[in-house]
Structure 1
Amino acid sequence: MTSFLTKSAPIALTAALAISPMLAPTVAFAVPAGGYADLVETVAPAVVFIEVTSAVQAISDLPDNMPEALRRQFKQNTPQEAPHAGLGSGFIISSDGRIVTNHHVVFGAQNVEVTLADGTKYDADLIGSDAATDIALLSIKADVDLPFVSFGTSEQMRVGDEVVAVGNPFGLSSTVTSGIISAKARDINAGPYDEFIQTDAAINRGNSGGPLFNNAGDVIGVNTAIISPGGGSVGIGFAVPSDVVREVVADLSDDGTVTRGWLGVSIRPMSDEVAEVLGFDSSKGAVVEAVSKDSPADTAGLEKGDIILDFDGTQIEALRDLTRAVAAKEPEDKAKVTILRRGKEMFLDVTIGTLAPQKT
């Protein structure tokens, strides 16, 4: 579980006294009568406990001014690699044993062991992993059909909707917590495709890779990160939306990798001063700082200083809008780009390239 050191201010919630006499309930996401016991009994068998063994290389870069005798002693007494154990969560998405978890849970693993809710253990194989979205896909072989859960549509979830998290915090298997969606589309600077669901359901270390359910029992997120000054839950957790996870898992299922589009530009936000000069109410678009030689952007005629306002129908309000829009394209796709160049609006056609796999 990734943690971030930050401070959060308390927010006071007050009830509105003047309300409409007719307030239709949201049936699909209403809190179940009597609690979540029926829901948990249905979905918990598909949530798994993941134990990882990996090798961590010892520090090899020693200071240049270290005395030679001390250097030799340090190398003699320091093992070249030592086993490291890690814990996480995951969930089964097919009866034949495909399992979703976080990339950071299994990254660098030599052995991955999966324990089902009934205590049965299996060695798992890594089908593929995507560092950019922190999603990994595993596989186990069982002699029986396994219980599994399905993805819901995260886009349909609203701030305030009830959610349930199931996982293995601190190794405590099958732990259930509940809460609400606190915010959507959160960018926490964890990667280029940040669009996290924020929840106040208690999420701790070991919940990484576990599912976040709606009240229909559908997975609408994969618990991935927390803000935790002290290492425990403070009610601010983040999940990768299921709409993103579903696409990544489908891509990983094909060949173990994720293919993304590539444009070939370095970008920065528009400054408030430039926005004011151009007559915009606020800064928008992506300012091109550099164009990679022989890249799709170079071939299309993009230049340093151009301001990208629209990419194939997606308005660029923030930098991540362009990053996601380009990544969503397949290599060799055609796209129309709207730019401002020295105050004049222009349209360029670009053929998308292939983004090199992210190094981790």
Structure 2
Amino acid sequence: MYKHMKKILGITLLAAFIGGAAAIGGYKLFEGNQIGSTISEKQNLYFANNPLKVSSAGTADFTQAAAAVAPGVVHIKTTYAAAGKSERSSPMDMMEDFFGGGGRQMQRQPRAASGSGVIISQDGYIVTNNHVVENAEKVEVILTDRRKVEAKVIGRDPNTDLALIKVNATNLPVVKFGNSDNVQVGEWVLAVGFPLDLNTTVTAGIVSAKNRSIGIIGREQEGAEITEEEYREYQRTGKRPDRPANTSIESFIQTDAAINPGNSGGALVNANGELVGINSAIASQSGYNQGYGFAIPVNLARKVVDDFMKYGSVKRGYIGVSFVPLSADNPAEIKSNEVSGLYVNDVVAGGGGAAAGIKAGDVIKKVDGVVINDSPDLQERIGRLNPGDKVKLSVLRAGELKDFTVTLKGESSVGISSNTAATKSVEVSKLGATFVPATQAQKSKFGINSGVVVSSVTTGKAFDNIGVEKGLIITKVNGQPVNSVGDVQKALPQTRNNMVYMSGVSEQGTFNFSFPAQ
């Protein structure tokens, strides 16, 4: 009997050993297959084996949350080529003033700036702000163990002011994604970053508001929303305003946690130590903290970084409508007594909204069952989705609430052209600039028949040295009309006396300039 039990025990132990080995082997196999997975999958794997042990959201003790998050927030140092004149290098320069970038001064030496970033995977992916790394010649990350490593920019999205960078390092501490939809006004939050070039700094405050738009990302883009005056003109003439579509997304979490220069790209976390936002801007008269900071919701950031990892650019879906937010002061032309929701003033032919049956005059009240009061509510929810995704719109029409299922379309389907990484923005290295073709709306606005838009300028190169700025439209190169980057490249060699001549137009009027051919 004893021998029989001993034999059974031996078999049981052997089976347990084999099962344990198989489990470990399976885990290692699964772990090894994470190279091409999404950030969400990487985080699920990491935190399944490294659970957070922090206090609840209701407590005022932030020690555990700060200890969990601080190792995963890094200091980002950027350097730029020598500047040739005093000018702004980026549409986000107001935020760079706040967070450590600033405008370029009269100098001929490399510039340096700093910001913060959040480690979101063990293998070195870091999310930060676009304006922290935009136009930088070199990006360095200082880890919490004081190692300094150079980072590669994986993708930038000016429309959300987000960027994804990567360092060649492993086994890094990771900040856990939370759910920004669950953030409540009045909830305690922490801001973690590197303000004023100090070491890791943690400040506490509450969520002051959600879905806040402050116009800082899209201030150089003319929006899809139109003003009351423009709407009246549209009603009178039937002609839509000639301006490019606004593809920026602003739906910030507002907080009174102290944020200062250098915090840009850092973490906004709840008291559970979960990432709920990426700090991006402050409201300030002086450039320093005066009570209000703004963070990009993590649910939007998650979609952007996953797109960068999968496609190298952001794939954004559009409903294909333009709208006016309703209020108690609706213009008389709007035939609605509603004071909340989005009044559809136009539907793009061939867009998802038109195909689903959305009509001008409808009032969008809900998106997937969530009440929509203003444009940031809609922009942020749609901004998380991809072309081909379906969304349910609850629309008020003739006093009755109707549901429509809209299949989102890509940029080309709704006539949107932007100068983000997702478009055909092509560099001409001789000029130190990238270009996109001017839209028909831009050509009509300025009364031109040709043109390419300067979508970025590299510091220290030809265009930068002579003061050509982003947003200018080049209409002719060496007397030849240009409508594409190919036209620019073809016309460049046709110099006169070894000089390149260019003509163009901007909001300030027409211009002509020349410079020596390289």
Alignment of 1:28 with 2:68, yes or no, is no
Q: If you compute each CA radius of gyration, which structure gives the higher value, 1 or 2? A: 2
Per the TM alignment, residue 210 of structure 1 is displaced from its structure 2 partner at its CA by 0.6
**Percentage of identical aligned residues:** 42
Per the TM alignment, residue 246 of structure 1 is displaced from its structure 2 partner at its CA by 2.3
2:192 matched to which residue of 1?
A: 166
- Contact 1:58 1:82 (C-alpha < 8 Å) held by counterparts: no
Q: Map Cα deviations across residues 177-217 of structure 1 (whole Å, 9 max, x no partner).
A: 22222223322233543222222221001100011222222
Per the TM alignment, residue 333 of structure 1 is displaced from its structure 2 partner at its CA by 3.7
The CA distance in 1 between the partners of 2:321 and 2:376, in whole Å, is 13
Q: Which of 127, 137, 140 lines up with 1:110 in the alignment?
A: 137
Letter in 1 for 2:304: V
**Inter-CA distance 348–219: structure 2 relative to 1 (3 Å threshold):** closer
Please give the residue correspondences for 1:68-147 in structure 2 after superposition, counting only pairs within 5 Å: 83-142=110-169, 144-147=170-173
Aligned residue for 1:132, secondary structure, equals coil
Q: Map Cα deviations across residues 255-280 of structure 1 (whole Å, 9 max, x no partner).
A: 222222123222223463669964x4
Aligned residue for 2:155, secondary structure, equals strand
Per the TM alignment, residue 120 of structure 1 is displaced from its structure 2 partner at its CA by 0.7
The CA distance in 2 between the partners of 1:125 and 1:134, in whole Å, is 17
Per the TM alignment, residue 238 of structure 1 is displaced from its structure 2 partner at its CA by 1.3
**Inter-CA distance 312–49: structure 2 relative to 1 (3 Å threshold):** closer
Per the TM alignment, residue 85 of structure 1 is displaced from its structure 2 partner at its CA by 2.2
1:184 matched to which residue of 2?
A: 210
TM-score, structure 1 as length reference: 0.73
Q: Map Cα deviations across residues 57-99 of structure 1 (whole Å, 9 max, x no partner).
A: 75799xxxxxxxxxxxxxxxx9999743221001211211111
Q: Which of 413, 419, 430 lines up with 1:359 in the alignment?
A: 419
- Contact 1:275 1:283 (C-alpha < 8 Å) held by counterparts: no
Alignment of 1:211 with 2:267, yes or no, is yes
Q: Map Cα deviations across residues 144-174 of structure 1 (whole Å, 9 max, x no partner).
A: 4112221122333333332222211121121
Moved more, 217-226 or 316-325: 316-325
Letter in 2 for 1:113: E
2:512 matched to which residue of 1?
A: none
2:303 matched to which residue of 1?
A: 247
Higher helix share goes to which structure? Answer: 2
Unaligned runs of 5+ in 1: 1-25, 62-77
The CA distance in 2 between the partners of 1:160 and 1:314, in whole Å, is 20
Alignment of 1:225 with 2:281, yes or no, is yes
Letter in 2 for 1:215: A
Alignment of 1:284 with 2:340, yes or no, is yes
Please give the residue correspondences for 1:323-338 in structure 2 after superposition, counting only pairs within 5 Å: 323-335=379-391
Moved more, 107-116 or 186-195: 186-195
The CA distance in 2 between the partners of 1:328 and 1:345, in whole Å, is 25
- Contact 2:299 2:384 (C-alpha < 8 Å) held by counterparts: no
**Inter-CA distance 228–138: structure 2 relative to 1 (3 Å threshold):** same
2:78 matched to which residue of 1?
A: 52
Aligned residue for 1:353, secondary structure, equals coil
**Inter-CA distance 56–306: structure 2 relative to 1 (3 Å threshold):** farther
2:457 matched to which residue of 1?
A: none
The CA distance in 2 between the partners of 1:46 and 1:139, in whole Å, is 14
The CA distance in 1 between the partners of 2:251 and 2:315, in whole Å, is 19
- Contact 1:29 1:214 (C-alpha < 8 Å) held by counterparts: no
Per the TM alignment, residue 123 of structure 1 is displaced from its structure 2 partner at its CA by 0.7
Q: Map Cα deviations across residues 304-348 of structure 1 (whole Å, 9 max, x no partner).
A: 444444556455432334434544443234456555667787776
The CA distance in 2 between the partners of 1:268 and 1:319, in whole Å, is 8
Per the TM alignment, residue 124 of structure 1 is displaced from its structure 2 partner at its CA by 0.4
1:202 matched to which residue of 2?
A: 258
- Contact 2:130 2:162 (C-alpha < 8 Å) held by counterparts: yes
1:43 matched to which residue of 2?
A: 69
- Contact 2:368 2:391 (C-alpha < 8 Å) held by counterparts: yes
Q: Map Cα deviations across residues 99-137 of structure 1 (whole Å, 9 max, x no partner).
A: 111111111222111111222111101122222222211
TM-score, structure 2 as length reference: 0.53
**Inter-CA distance 208–335: structure 2 relative to 1 (3 Å threshold):** closer
- Contact 2:251 2:379 (C-alpha < 8 Å) held by counterparts: no
1:272 matched to which residue of 2?
A: 330
The CA distance in 2 between the partners of 1:44 and 1:311, in whole Å, is 36
Aligned pair count reads 313
**Inter-CA distance 79–165: structure 2 relative to 1 (3 Å threshold):** closer
- Contact 2:280 2:296 (C-alpha < 8 Å) held by counterparts: yes
The CA distance in 2 between the partners of 1:42 and 1:349, in whole Å, is 42
- Contact 1:131 1:358 (C-alpha < 8 Å) held by counterparts: no
Structure having greater relative contact order (Cα 8 Å, sep ≥ 6): 1
Higher strand share goes to which structure? Answer: 1
Give the superposed CA RMSD: 3.5
Alignment of 1:156 with 2:212, yes or no, is no
